[in-house]
A and B are shown apart, each in its own frame.
Chain A
Amino acid sequence: MQKENAALLSKEKWGKTLSYIKRNKYYYLLLLPGLIYYIIFHYVPMYGIIIVFKDFSFKKGILGSDWIGLENFRYLFHLSEFWNVFRNSLILSLLRLFASFPVSVILALMLNEIGNRKYQRITQTLVYLPHFISWVVLGGIMVNFLSPTWGVINQVLKNLGFTPIFFMGKPEYFRPLVIISSIWKEAGWGTILYLAAMTGIDTELYDAASVDGANRIQKMRYITLPGIRSTIVLSFILRTGSLMSNGFEQIYILQNSQNISVSEVFETYTYKMGLGNGRYSFSTAVGLFTTVISLIMMLITNYIAKKGGEESLW
């Protein structure tokens, strides 16, 4: 009897879903190209991940290459620099997360408070612009600006009576340089999401707060921030999903033999050890390893968010 009821319920549920889809069939039809895109370009190629357990050979192809079990991982974990690279990647990612993530939120709040629309738009455009400069160009500018001999920054320091600082030659400056340049380049772009979320806040709340005598800071604290809280939390969870990824270009461009002890991260290491030598299986193994770490971190963050009564991914 219970089984029959459950089957009936399930059938009813399916029926409702189907009739919902039928009712909104054109929306679902519009979804189709995106779905096909994801299946073809993101899911189908995933079978290639099996090469981490294979000695990939062009001649034999992905399926035909010889199985070597966990050999690629054994090789990875036994490389002398591996743990140093792991540490560098983690530290840099965490610094990036905790130092640059809040900047976009703060910047978005500040932009939202600009009363003059024209001025707000100009400011917004100006803070977005660095996002479109490639790291190659930006890296070149940084190396030139920070040069102890010819750089503008050290010229200023010299004129102020300070000793020039060899920013690119000292490992202790590498991480701050990466974080500061990341913030400068990407913080503006990161505000888009929060500004969009802010437009969804009911303006009557602000009017009511004004009637109650709330000042700007109070409105920001008690209306705007809670209004975009779920966006912030979701964005944070998603950021933890790419925790081990530091990007290749920026690090590679700022890296040199003098700061290599702190600048070698998975992206640059994989490039040199794997792709440079045509070891595709090994490179994929590194990619899989970092993805698994990121997935675990994302799951933990999502769990904490859910437990804390916040919005979560599922």
Chain B
Amino acid sequence: MKKRILATMLCLTMAAGLLAGCGSKGSAPAKEETPAETTAQKEESAPAATAAEEQAAEETAAEETTEAAAEEYVMNTDPITITIMDRAPESFSYEDNQVLDKIAEITGVTLAYEIPPMSNYTERLQVVMAADEMCDVSYTWGFGATTYQKWAEDGLIWDVTDMIGDYPNLMANIPQNQWDAARCEDGRIYAVPKPHQDSVYGIGINTDWLNKLVDGKVPANLEELEAFGKLVAESDPDANGQKDTFLFSPPGVWGDGWIVQAFMPYVGGSVLPKLPDFDGEYKIRQKMDGYLPYLRWFRDMYAQGLIDPEFFTNNTYDDRTKFQQNRTAICALTVGQNITTSLVNGMVGEDVDPDLFSQYITLAPCMKPDGQDKANVEQSASNWGGWMISANVDEETVRRILGFLDWANTEEGWLMMNGGVQGHNYDTYDPETKTVTKTQEEREFDKEINSYASMASGLGGIMLQSVTAGDEISLKRAVYNTNELKDFLTTVNVVSVPSISFPAYTQFTADNPDLVDRLTNMEENFVTGNIDEAAFTSFLEDEWFPAIAPAEEEYLQTMNEYAASAQ
């Protein structure tokens, strides 16, 4: 009898566990109207040039609103719980977290995190979106992804365009180009960017090899670059007795924008450049004057054995790893806070005194076009993804969320979310270098804070740095990190690139994914010598140009209208 009772109980427990696992987490409010419809007061989708004009008008209006809002805005601190799905490492502990308790005390907001494994965050987000089980706030890694546009189109996330102007700290800490990056094709903003450190493109050169091979002279043009490359490939600069060193190892044909600069007036960029060609005309990338010369140059370098022959197997950051392993002489970088520190420490395998950095790496600008004194750099939108608000929450909650994000973009909020609580997580804070000092005891609570879990990781384009109290080298490094970008910017021309979207092109890539993929493969196969120029150009002429023609037409019209309105 006992056995029977036990067996029955066991089965019931197993079945109950199973059912509990698949239970709904609660009914979401009915979606009668999508927020996009209620707040956006959508017009018919306007042409992009009009969108650009509207954007300019919005910017002015936003500035005025910000000033007014700064005087009027008072944060609501009534208690509320906001659920957040975030991409953060396991090292961040949100349970028994005194920083989150303090945040709740100050703002009234209790943050309830849901953190799936970082490696499959994007997949998890897609599943949650498809199942309409979004948290109140969800982190999205990129705004360029088709999925973000699709979620916005489908009314799964709030259109916040008309609300953000009411939050002065959001408007002050998030620059216009970051807001523009979050704009969808309808010109509306559906996520609040997570501001990050500022950064621009540049390169790092192995100082030892540079000194050994060319007396420390940084290659200033393609000829000098090629000559340096030959010496790197032939002269065994790492002295291991083998010819196994290369000029560089790019992550794909267009991954190293620093060379593209010598051929085309922009770094990297997309198939539809937002800057005109050297002759002043707008052209799609494949029709720019420097397109084929760039690929021919690349092919020639590859054939000569100056480029890593395996570059097409590179995964993210493999180019950097090969540079740190003394396999390549040059590495493309986004120069910002911390880049030299992390590269040099990675090369040496331990913390290095910043005074010695130049012995390892020479920072240099991208290649420059003929006849120009300084190289151009795009001021990229330095956001680190952004925060989407679920369409399932009501407008009052959206206001609370925006209010909280606004607080997170104040110095107080930013410092607390990135540095924690003074006396518990850090000892002192220097607003000048944006650095906190920590004692060993305070370091034990580092798990309570994480830049991934922070709503704003950059304040005024700078990330918070932390040093251990009494560690003079760390302190010196913090100062170095803060000034690195500032110093680098004096050596380059910062170019402003307009933020304009091209719906027809987005549609083209969605309708012809195999063709877009094929272009990338054809370019790489041309560079590696697997196909000749005739085969490559006939692909462009016969397949690519006819297919992209409608998108090209829209692009040209949009850019020409933009140029005309900008004059």
Contact = CB atoms under 8 A, between A and B. Distances in A.
Interface in A91-106: none
B510 interface: yes
Interface string A36-73: 11001100000000000000011111000000000000
A272 B22 CA distance: 30
A55 B154 CA distance: 12
B530 A258 contact: yes
Given A58-B150, A278-B147, A168 B7 contact: no
A275 B126 contact: yes
B515 A257 contact: no
Given A148-B309, A149-B309, A258-B530, A58 B154 contact: yes
B525 A169 contact: no
Contacts of A36: 15, 18-19
A79 B514 contact: yes
A278 B513 contact: no
A22 to B, nearest CB: 13
B313 interface: yes
B310 A59 contact: no
A29 B8 contact: yes
Interface string B311-335: 0110000000000000100000000
B2 interface: no
Interface string A274-293: 01111110000000000000
B106 interface: no
A35 B103 CA distance: 46
A33 interface: yes
B312 A257 contact: yes
Q: By DSSP majority rule, is chain B's interface helix, strand, loop, or mixed?
A: helix
A279 B528 CA distance: 32
A159 B92 CA distance: 49
Contact of A29 (B7, B154, B513, B524): B7
A143 B327 CA distance: 16
Contacts of B130: 58, 280
A119 B556 CA distance: 73
Residue of A40, A59, A275 with most chain B CB atoms under a 10 A cut-off = A59
A2 B520 CA distance: 73
Contacts of A40: 18-19, 22
Given A29-B8, A57-B154, A277 B514 contact: no
B312 A256 contact: yes
A33 B15 contact: yes
A277 to B, nearest CB: 5
B513 A272 contact: yes
Contacts of B132: 58, 61
User: Which of under 10, 10 to 19, 20 to 34, or 35 or more describes the interface residues of B?
Assistant: 35 or more
Given A59-B34, A150-B244, A258-B524, A33 B11 contact: yes
A26 B8 CA distance: 7
A147 interface: yes
Contacts of A30: 7, 10-11
Contacts of A277: 146, 509-510, 513
Contacts of B313: 143, 168-169, 256
A50 B524 CA distance: 39
A59 B18 contact: no
Nearest to B245: A149
B156 A32 contact: no
B350 interface: no
A59 B4 CA distance: 49
Contacts of A166: 309-310
Contacts, number: 99
Contact of A257 (B14, B155, B309, B524): B524
A61 B18 CA distance: 26
A32 B15 contact: yes
B14 A33 contact: yes
A147 B318 CA distance: 14
Contacts of B8: 26, 29
A41 B22 contact: yes
A61 B22 CA distance: 19
Contact of A279 (B19, B312, B510, B524): B510
Given A29-B8, A30-B11, A81 B514 contact: yes
B129 interface: yes
B525 to A, nearest CB: 6
A58 B10 CA distance: 40
B437 to A, nearest CB: 38
B327 A150 contact: yes
Interface in A139-158: 143, 147-150
A5 interface: no
A138 interface: no
Contacts of A295: none
Interface string B372-386: 000000000000000
Contacts of A215: none
Contact of A26 (B7, B15, B150, B154): B7
Given A33-B14, A256-B312, A260-B521, A278 B514 contact: no
Given A59-B34, A147-B310, A277-B513, A29 B521 contact: no
A80 B309 contact: no
Contacts of A276: 146, 513
Nearest to A279: B510
Contacts of B310: 143, 147-149, 166, 168-169
B551 to A, nearest CB: 15
Contacts of A192: none
B517 interface: yes
A148 B321 CA distance: 17
B151 interface: yes
A257 B154 contact: no
Contacts of B22: 40-41
Contact of A258 (B14, B126, B312): B312
15 contacts: A26-B4, A30-B10, A32-B11, A33-B14, A33-B15, A40-B22, A41-B22, A58-B130, A59-B154, A79-B514, A256-B312, A258-B312, A277-B146, A277-B513, A278-B126
Interface of B: 4, 7-8, 10-11, 14-15, 17-19, 22, 34, 126, 129-130, 132, 146-147, 150-151, 153-156, 244, 308-310, 312-313, 327, 509-510, 513-515, 517-518, 520-521, 524-525, 528, 530
Closest 4 CB pairs of A and B: A59-B154, A257-B524, A33-B14, A58-B154
